[in-house]
Amino acid sequence: MNAPQPSFHVGPDSDEARQLLDAIDRWLTREVAPHVMQLEHEDTWPAQMVEQRKAFGVLRAAISPQYGGLGLSAQLYARIVSRISEVWMSLTGIFNSHLMMALLVEKYGSLSLKENYLPRFASGELRGGLALTEPNAGTDLQAIKLRAQRQGTVYRLNGTKTWISNGIQGSCFAVLTKTADTEPRHKGMSMFLCEKGPGFTAGRKLEKLGYKGIDSAELLFQDYRVSAENLIGEEGRGFQQAVGGLELGRINVAARGVGIAKAALDEALKYSQQRETFGKPICEHQAIQLKLGEMATRAEAARLLVRQAAEIYDRGERCDLEAGMAKYFATEAAFENAHEAVRIHGGYGYSKEFMVERLYRDAPLLCIGEGTNEMQRIIIAKQLIKRSKG
């Protein structure tokens, strides 16, 4: 049985929420927006911005107050993700992966594991993420090969993870492993909390089309020894833990889609009012108006789907259907809006001097990450069929 959702302590419409969002908006305007272009083009880890975010508590947003966190609702968390993504999506990946790791520990970890690690996650003393994907196991997580073999009071890990966010800069990861050869395969999978050390290192940094600044890397395990006390929950429950945690992960990715979709709309609208052809601003041409109308509708519909999924998550109810819908629609909205923004900008949309060029490179990742959109449609259909049967 799944552990109950941790209750949130800061609601989405509270005074504290408004103050936090205002502070983040000011930070984005003063400290982030002026530097994004250079950091993104150089693919530079935004160390100063990561440190600045500690003041807002973003690294501890979803962690319960008893462990030093803020205990934000998923609704408020999604709004924060959307606003940051409007300016630079990469920043959201740095703290989302970290919070996914913390969520697994808080929901399924032993009391000693929570007390030892969650305060350090909340303070930023330890930063890291979630290590699920392998070279031949992405959407099909049950195909993982990284093995954890028990030897007395420790487990020995051997294998490789890939495309892991914060892989180089992070120091601690929740790692999905194979602990037994059994059928069905998911019963032989377990999750461990692993700190870097002898036998556990980061491999090469993986170059990407977009999503610059945040490091995506390989993680290498060679006879790495981790205490049995760092097993998250029960042995053989790792797959269920990973899938359960993806609900919030999909809400996060959907919220990023909302941010990208809105940013693309805003940039396209602004440019269309400045650029003139045939004696008038291009926003007065019907062809451009059709595009803007579609873009605005997609962005707003995506926002509402994310809000719905987050509300259900906050109630502690199962929301894989709603999270799947939000993730699928919002990320496709981001992709389509970024594409249309480039077309509205014409030749300038192909220039690295304009923001829409970055949005166009960032958006495709959202359609792939946290489960491909092809898989989301299957999940949606299966849940519809299941729910229709009562």
Alpha-carbon gap, residue 374 to 335, rounded angstroms: 15
Residue 205: φ, ψ to 5° = -80, 135
Residue that the structure tokens 């990023």 belong to: 256
Alpha-carbon gap, residue 97 to 131, rounded angstroms: 9
78 to 8, 26, 232, 306, 328: CA distances (angstroms) = 13, 18, 26, 8, 15
Coil, strand, or helix at residue 285? coil
Strand ranges, E, within 166-230: 172-178, 189-195, 200-205, 216-227
Q: Which residues of 280-316 are buried (b: 16+ CB within 10 A; e: fewer)?
A: eebbeeeebeebbeebbebbeebbebbbbbbbbbbee
Token code pair at residue 247: 């609900």
Alpha-carbon gap, residue 28 to 49, rounded angstroms: 10
Residue 3: φ, ψ to 5° = -70, 150
Quick check: 126 and 67 in contact, CB under 8 A?
no
Selected catalytic residue, list 31, 86, 370, 374: 370
Coil, strand, or helix at residue 126? coil
Alpha-carbon gap, residue 385 to 363, rounded angstroms: 30
Coil, strand, or helix at residue 137? strand
Coil, strand, or helix at residue 99? helix
User: Catalytic: 267?
Assistant: no
Coil, strand, or helix at residue 211? coil
Cα–Cα–Cα angle for 9, 56, 95, rounded to 5 degrees: 85
Token code pair at residue 219: 């993680």
- Helices 286-314 and 320-345, packing angle to 10 deg: 160
DSSP 8-state secondary structure symbol assigned to residue 6: P
Alpha-carbon gap, residue 290 to 296, rounded angstroms: 10
Residues taking part in catalysis: 370
